Structure 1
Amino acid sequence: MKKMLVVTTVVFAMLAGTACQGRDDTTSTRLALMKTTNPEPIRTLDSNTKASENDVKKEVASMPELYDVAVIKGKKDILVAYKVKHMYRFRMKAIEKKLTKKLEKKYPDANFTVSSDYKIFLEASRLKDEVKRGKISGKEAEDRLQQIIKLQQEKT
């Protein structure tokens, strides 16, 4: 009986250890949905738009309804993923519309994709971590950015 308990415990520990090895995420990425991570804005490739990723982040972060913003600037597109404070969640569509209008007015030459979806925010955080660690090149990062944008467009 004691052997059975030991074997069961060892098997359970091995299963629990291997179940957590799905992705190569950093601690900040794993906690991105639970707390404020405030990821740095990144650029995948050089672009011809005048909008700086840091300026866009400051512009979005200045809105009182939002508390966490991820900005990724690609060759043609800029992805803005954000989290909405709990008290404002009933007005998410209005906030997204207001934010999109604000960004397009300030940076008319840029193509923005704006999302409050947690999945998009998480993917943006993962992309930022991979670029920061040097795991992927600028071209690969641009491809991943386009996949994230396509995912966002399929959602709507």
Structure 2
Amino acid sequence: MVYIIRLMLIACVILMGSCSQDQNEKDSQLALMKTTNPNPIVTEQNKGVDKVKKIEKEVSSFDEIYDVAVVKGKKATLVVYKVKHMQRFNMKKIEANLNKTLEENYPKENFTVSSDYKIFLEAVRLVERKNTGKLSEKQAEKRLNEIIKMTSDMK
């Protein structure tokens, strides 16, 4: 009987500890199930923030897309998005249209576009860590390049 009570007490402590995570970590955990709309970030401080917000707004204007994350680095810009469920059959067409629009409007930018959920989750985590100060600009740029490399490896 004492053993069962101790076991229940330990389980309660573990459950209470897991519920005390900060909100930023919960956002990345739920990123696949809900719309997160993370703020776009730039790995270099005060460089191109307006352009990145404009890119995010333009990508969000597509009817088929409901969630967007944009991360701009020194050399490349990562655009990840989630497609509405009934539009998943048109994924290639959506990505082609998105690439075409971005290349026409921003010819000097080097875009990496992905609708992969894992890449989206990694981008959201990068945004959260950068915004909370857990990553420096140099570390954020390095992580962005790793995520971009992941997208090319998946194709």
- Superposition TM-score tier, normalisation by shorter sequence: 0.7 to 0.9
Any gaps of 5 or more consecutive residues in structure 2? none
How big is each residue's C-alpha offset from its partner over 1:89-120, in whole Å with a ceiling of 9 and x where there is no partner?
11112111111111111111111000111111
Distance in 2 between the 1:93 and 1:6 partners? 56
Q: Which runs of 4+ in 1 moved over 3 A?
A: 10-21, 46-49
Query: Match for residue 149 of structure 1?
Result: 148
**CA-to-aligned-CA distance 1:37-94 (integer Å, 9 cap, x gap):** 1111100026998x81011101100100000000000001000010000110111121
Q: What TM-score do you get using the length of structure 2 for normalisation?
A: 0.87
- Equivalent-residue separation in structure 2 for 1:62 and 1:131 (angstroms): 26
Please report the RMSD computed on the Cα atoms of aligned residues, expressed in angstroms: 2.7
| Matches of 1:68 and 1:92, distance apart in 2 | 14
Query: 2:134: which partner in 1?
Result: 135
SS of 1:132's equivalent?
A: helix
TM-score normalised by the chain length of structure 1: 0.86
* Displacement after TM superposition at 1:17 (Å): 6.6
Equivalent positions of 1:1-156 (< 5 A) are 2-13=1-12, 26-45=25-44, 52-156=51-155
SS of 1:33's partner is: coil
Q: Unaligned 5+ residue runs, structure 1?
A: none
Structure 1 residue 13 displacement after superposition:
4.5
* Cα distance change, pair 154–6 in 1 and its aligned pair in 2 (3 A): same
Distance in 1, Cα, partners of 2:103 & 2:15: 47
SS of the counterpart of 1:109? coil
Report the number of matched residues: 154
Q: Is the 8 A contact 1:48 1:75 kept in 2?
A: no
